[in-house]
Amino acid sequence: MSSPADYYDLTRIRPEVLAALDKINALGATFAARAKAVDDDASFPTENYKDLADAGFLGLSIPQEFGGWGFSMGEYAMVGAEIGKYCGATALTFNMHNSSMAWSRFMYDMPNLTAGEKAAFAPLRERQFRRAMKERAIFSQPISEGGQNWTSKPNQTQARAVDGGWKINGFKKFASLAGYCDYYTIVCTEVFDGQEPRHEDTMLFVVHKDTPGLQVKGDWDPLGMRGTNSRDLILKDVFVTEDDLLMPRGIFGKTLPNWPHMMATLSPTYMGVAQGAYDFMVDYLKGKIPGQPPIDRRMYATKRITVGKMYARLANMRALWWQAFSEAKGFPTKGEVMRMYAAQYNVMEGVQEIAALAIRTCGGQSMLRSLPLERMYRDSRCGALMLPYTSEIMEDYLGVLALYEMDEIDTAPGDEGGARNSLWRGDSGTLRMLR
């Protein structure tokens, strides 16, 4: 099994981060052992979360002043990728939790917030941090509503003002952790009578799982990433107040378009799955999988050369992805955004290539469900489909950004329903500019 020294330049990693990566690798065998049952039953990896919480990982992105570790986004990404080697579903759901924390963390520091906005934001985010640290609460962050790219029009889950707060009605598709998390971060649009819903009225509320009106529904029987338990979340007259805001109104629209790496946080999981599939294959070819006969299969030139090519692919994914995440920040440059999109694309495509080749190279036994490789093969195909940065959307974004200057993008010709422009639109981006 690989270790960070196999792919990172250790001189560029802080000791406490390296220690966190090592901790994950120490937990890894346990996570891996539980992964089959989680996958078989499409159940949530509850025990893994207990272990992660015990080791302090729920506060990884929380500032140190609130008791967390204060890891940067890039440091978080490295942790996520280590988890993904052992259990994709754990890594993917951990990302959902971590994202809620990271939004509160990094958006607050954006230089385009006013002093007033920061003052309003401070107690809100403190509440969430406290929940994660004290209650060891797990957060989920369902976004998809089952349609197209959610960034292209206002969220269809709607909040309408009522006495003392709002009532939320709507529906979230693929709500990871549904039924298992403690809090849901709900993205919705505030609507007003006689007015079209608008991007700038986007609001984020944090809703406790036991709030009346919340209902988890539907089946969850997918090809892969089954432990995410991404069922439907129905919201019917869910009552929320000012205190439940994740961030004050308006901040989401001022910050998200300028922090585009925030939406790329599914990729650590898949970087990890790719590494995990490769690692398993190497051990299998060496005859070193516990419980399997110690057959050495390394003398075949076909296998050797394929392994060489797979390593070369894995290495290019990893290096780009690592560079891109180490550059994650608010108000990135165009080059930084393009690298991040390219990293997302390479990881989501590459993980599938590697998992498919790993099975082919191990041979017939490796497609049995008693070994983890077939699960990784199933998990590996899910990443490229996940909004908002699907592989197709990355192709669109990269092509447009590569060919047009920022001041040309709004008027660049494109097929009406088709060409999708970058979520990030330069420093003056707003949610309204998305299309």
Q: Which stretch binds a copy of itself (CB under 8 A): 25-33, 105-113, 269-277, 358-366?
A: 358-366
Least Å distance, CB 414 to a copy of itself, is 6
Among positions 107-136, residues that touch a copy of itself (CB under 8 A) are none
Among positions 209-268, residues that touch a copy of itself (CB under 8 A) are 219, 221-224
Residue 97 binds a copy of itself (CB under 8 A):
no
Indicate which single residue of 50, 217, 236, 286 sits in contact with a copy of itself (rule: CB under 8 A): 286
Indicate which single residue of 5, 26, 119, 122 sits in contact with a copy of itself (rule: CB under 8 A): 5
Q: Is 34 helix (H, G, I), strand (E, B) or coil?
A: helix
Please tell me the distance from the alpha carbon of residue 226 to that of residue 230, in angstroms, as a whole number. 8
CB contact at 8 A, 68 and 257: no
Among positions 289-318, residues that touch a copy of itself (CB under 8 A) are 298-312, 315-318
φ and ψ of 235, to 5 deg = -115, 120
Please tell me the distance from the alpha carbon of residue 69 to that of residue 23, in angstroms, as a whole number. 14
**Which token pair is 306?**
């394929």
Least Å distance, CB 31 to a copy of itself, is 21
Least Å distance, CB 53 to a copy of itself, is 29
Residue 384 binds a copy of itself (CB under 8 A):
yes
Q: Computed from CA positions of residues 277, 278, 284, 289, in that sequence, does the dihedral angle turn out positive or negative?
A: negative
Comparing CA positions, the residue from 121, 162, 169, 170 lying closest to residue 145 is 170
Indicate which single residue of 141, 144, 229, 422 sits in contact with a copy of itself (rule: CB under 8 A): 144
CB contact at 8 A, 8 and 20: no
* Most distant CA atoms of the chain, gap in Å: 73
Indicate which single residue of 55, 133, 234, 398 sits in contact with a copy of itself (rule: CB under 8 A): 398
Q: Which stretch binds a copy of itself (CB under 8 A): 21-29, 89-97, 402-410, 424-432?
A: 402-410
Please tell me the distance from the alpha carbon of residue 59 to that of residue 137, in angstroms, as a whole number. 10
Smaller CB separation from a copy of itself, 50 or 309: 309
- What mask of x and - would describe binding to a copy of itself in positions 156 to 185, judged by CB under 8 A? ------------------x-----------
Residue 269 binds a copy of itself (CB under 8 A):
no
Smaller CB separation from a copy of itself, 267 or 390: 390
Helix (H) or strand (E) holding 207: strand 202-208
Q: Are strands 158-162 and 165-175 parallel, antiparallel or unpaired?
A: antiparallel
Say how far residue 220 (Cα) sits from the centre of its chain.
19
